[in-house]
Structure 1
């Protein structure tokens, strides 16, 4: 098929905007996720925490997404065509939807980890042993990519190019496609679990605070600290809720209700851009919001800073020696 004969549904201004966003998110996402991975893996105290394993898994998934999917996405929006061949067109949606699903499922794992830690602590050591953590990580990555197996094999739907949107995605085969089911299972259900779990965490924390306060009146300073902790927790919950809804809900809605023949192409681009943004903001939400993780960032930056300073001083010392060695000594008695 001659792609130039196909009517492109996206306005040129929207495709340029999408290409710019994909390029910016690619750079910021690679830097942010790579720094987070280095910072957390270099800290022995954090490596033993179960939450760290899921945060690292989330960052690795987002790093792959930023390194592979976003550059290809930027290129197709700039060219308004897919120029990388059929094989990569088959692989692209597997990596795209698979990595997004891995990110969402890792968020679920982080949320459930916090819920068990706060509300069901008696089961924590059993649920988050080393073996259990590896089983959960394998399950997360396995389920995320197994969802893409039916269309990849052509059993239910198929993977290929939609010429009007120049996107490599899940297409219908014999009038059937698993795309809506994948979005409902891979995104709607996990997001619902996250919201319910965080609501339970917040309710549990508030309940324990009130119970402690009624049985053991606290001094004014301790009450103030508790109230600050509650406000901080409320703020963090609100940020997580808003980010999850903003990043993933629009993409699910447009792909479920306006998929086969998009009537609102600009909304599809905006929904996609919001989903890409999640790969950039995730390190800040789940890592930078933790005091211990911020300390790991600081240690990494101090190491980098000291390494750069040492390198500069070494080069300066070498340059000084070369300068001294190149000076010609004048014989005594010579006039100046």
Structure 2
């Protein structure tokens, strides 16, 4: 291939990458197709399924728009450059490409930070989460990620050039220093580092809560074994066992938990050591603050005058009230909420991990190869690996979140049904 002097500035041709370009171009086409379909499917699913229309999922949609910008709009130009080993879109658009490329990465990193912070606030301070991620605050936060991205990289407009070793447009390696170095450190070191720190804090919080829950279960089981159950069916005494404050947001209020272990629904006894002539009472406190008093008697002592009729009459009154209040099945909801929280957090953590894995080879290679001694094909492979990040997220959502999976399925089935109807 022969290029004139002007074209040489936009050429990435060397004999060693002639055959590799076909693999790179094919890989780029797969990324464009999978990423465009998957990310658009995410947006449509969010718009059509009310279950997905939550504050947290708006962050997911913001991340999706950044991926759409990259894989649907920018990626085809990269594919074209690899097929021809030449940038054919002109100098002006090369600068536009470079600017949008780094804005997309900046928005992705900032959104990953917001996702990690939101998950931490949900388990640590729900009120703060509601204040920050409000109906007014959240849209402003999302718009600010794009404003910050453009604000940070727009000053580099004149430094965006065609970089031959990766066959794409980026900022010049030395012209923008030290500003370019500061930006890279801020986003890829501090930004991603902060995301890792927040997920570590979430892990510690959840682990601490799980340990407290295990201790509570052991204590509850011990109380059940030690509680006396006389022939009358009423325990001699109900011990109040407070559920440990795990600090984990479950989405279930305390009034929905098991009555024997909640802070609102308690059963207490009075007069356990009183004289036989003193009437004894069972007091039931409801979650609405109402107090109901029922007559009761202690365990029958052998040789004591029979009061079976009186006792059985009282039991008929007490038993229904106790069964309704005490046997409320709340922990199932609490357990399912905790499980759902862990699953969503795990999904977000995997999105973060894939982002880091996709960019680490490229970052390390450029940091270590300051003198450009590494083969060009190695730089191309590292750069092409970053393309995976823009198309992998919808796959993670479908694989790790049942709500997204169901929404994707409904959207696809809806499209097929409409196509059949038109035929």
The TM-score, its normalising length taken from structure 2, stands at 0.64
| Structure 1 residue 193 displacement after superposition | 1.5
Partner of 1:302: 413
Given the alignment of the two structures, is residue 267 of structure 1 paired with residue 273 of structure 2, yes or no? no
Give the match's secondary structure for 1:77. Answer: helix
Given the alignment of the two structures, is residue 280 of structure 1 paired with residue 391 of structure 2, yes or no? yes
| Structure 1 residue 55 displacement after superposition | 0.8
Structure 1 CA distance for aligned equivalents of residues 338 and 120 of structure 2: 20
Gaps of 5+ in 1: 313-336
Partner of 1:97: 102
1:324-335 matches, within 5 Å, as none
Given the alignment of the two structures, is residue 253 of structure 1 paired with residue 364 of structure 2, yes or no? yes
Partner of 2:45: 39
Partner of 2:55: 50
Structure 2 CA distance for aligned equivalents of residues 108 and 284 of structure 1: 21
Gaps of 5+ in 2: 222-330
Structure 2 CA distance for aligned equivalents of residues 141 and 288 of structure 1: 28
Q: Deviations over 1:190-232 (max 9, x none)?
A: 221221111211211111111122123478x98x989987996
Q: Does the 8 Å CA contact 1:89/1:160 hold for their aligned counterparts?
A: yes
- Pick the aligned partner of 2:34 from 28, 45, 51: 28
**Structure index of larger Rg:** 2
Q: Does the 8 Å CA contact 1:240/1:285 hold for their aligned counterparts?
A: yes
CA change 1:226–1:12 in 2 (3 A) is same
1:1-336 matches, within 5 Å, as 1-4=5-8, 8=13, 11-47=17-53, 49-152=54-157, 154=158, 158-163=159-164, 165-172=166-173, 176=177, 178-217=179-218, 236=347, 239-240=350-351, 242-258=353-369, 261=372, 263-286=374-397, 288-312=399-423
RCO greater where, 1 or 2, for CA within 8 Å and sep 6 or more?
1
CA change 1:169–1:235 in 2 (3 A) is closer
Q: Does the 8 Å CA contact 2:397/2:404 hold for their aligned counterparts?
A: no
Structure 2 CA distance for aligned equivalents of residues 244 and 174 of structure 1: 27
| Structure 1 residue 165 displacement after superposition | 4.9
Aligned length: 306
CA change 1:177–1:93 in 2 (3 A) is farther
| Structure 1 residue 234 displacement after superposition | 8.9
RMSD: 3.2
Structure 2 CA distance for aligned equivalents of residues 141 and 234 of structure 1: 24
Structure 2 CA distance for aligned equivalents of residues 112 and 175 of structure 1: 31
CA change 1:172–1:240 in 2 (3 A) is closer
CA change 1:260–1:3 in 2 (3 A) is farther
